[in-house]
Amino acid sequence: MPTFTHRFAQPHDLEALRAVMARAIAQLQHSFLSPEQVAASHQVMGLDTQLIADQTYFLVEDEAGTIAGCGGWSYRATLYGGDASIVAREPQRLDPAHDAAKIRAMYTDPAFIRRGVGRRVLGLCEDAARNAGFTRAEMMATMAGVPLYQACGYRPVEPILSAPINGVRVPLVRMEKTL
């Protein structure tokens, strides 16, 4: 069993992170989405580099330095979507006394699934949000992520469909948890 370490993602990690995300979307969504929805997912999901600038985006690596997974949390209002996605950015800061921290851009490389990587990243995000004063977290989950998030105590709040991408909508679920 590999030993994993974690650290904050840096700008020089962007290419490798985007490759992990592309593999995860392409390979891990097929049991939950149609091929057209998987293709459209690349325009709905992705990395918001504001998370790297804010130093709220983690990556987990094996002993060889290979990225096994990544994910972040945010004290900003954007709930989901990457720099190149169809989702608009909402950069205003949240108030931990009233607002929920946002769990963002969670991905596990397909070569590392079922090894606790997703749980580890999620735990890092929740701990950091809690340390920043947040008492709740919310996320927009993919269908492939819902089982993990439910197992970690998140509850579904609202199913949604993305805006149409070439006539295709991607199903998502807004989920929340008390930290």
The pair of three-digit structure tokens given for residue 25, joined into one six-digit string: 């979307």
In the prediction, which pLDDT does 91 show?
86
Percent of the chain surpassing pLDDT 90: 91
- Using CA atoms, how far residue 152 sits from 15, 38, 177, in Å, is 29, 25, 9
Yes or no: say if 117 and 108 are a contact pair by the CB < 8 Å rule.
Answer: yes
pLDDT tens digits, one per residue of 69-116: 999 999 999 999 888 777 777 889 999 999 999 999 999 999 999 999
- Range 5-35 burial, b when 16+ CB lie within 10 A, else e: ebebbeeebeebbbebbeebbeebbeebbee
Count CA atoms within 13 Å of residue 73 on its CB side.
24
pTM over cut 0.75: yes
In the prediction, which pLDDT does 83 show?
86
Predicted confidence band of residue 1 (pLDDT cuts 50, 70, 90) = low
pLDDT tens digits, one per residue of 23-41: 999 999 999 999 999 999 9
**Summary mean pLDDT of the chain:** 95
Yes or no: say if 80 and 142 are a contact pair by the CB < 8 Å rule.
Answer: no
Predicted confidence band of residue 60 (pLDDT cuts 50, 70, 90) = very high
- Cα 83 to its chain centre, rounded Å, is 13
Percent of the chain surpassing pLDDT 70: 99
Q: In the predicted model, what is the mean pLDDT of residues 133-141?
A: 98
